[in-house]
Amino acid sequence: MINWRIRDFHSADLDGILHLWETLKASNVEPVYALSEVLASCEKDHAVVA
């Protein structure tokens, strides 16, 4: 099982978020929120990306 870690968003996390986004889109999974909304929420400490 994976150990979870919760921490504040860092700008270095963008690469991981974009990779996850591209992987989902390539798998024909339609995200609930637009990428711009996800990034804005991360910047304002309102979102968790897992």
State pTM to two decimals.
0.69
Which residues span the domain enclosing 24?
1-50
Q: What pLDDT was estimated at residue 49?
A: 66
Summarised one tens digit per residue, pLDDT across range 8-48 is 888 898 999 999 999 989 999 888 889 999 888 888 877 66
Q: What pLDDT was estimated at residue 22?
A: 94
Around 30, how many Cα atoms within 13 Å sit in the side-chain half-sphere?
Answer: 0
Name the domain count of the chain. 1
Kindly tell me the sign of the dihedral angle through the C-alpha atoms of 37, 30, 48, 23: negative
Q: What pLDDT was estimated at residue 23?
A: 93
Kindly tell me the sign of the dihedral angle through the C-alpha atoms of 8, 10, 16, 18: positive
Mean pLDDT of 4-11: 82
- DSSP run (H or E) holding 42: helix 35-43
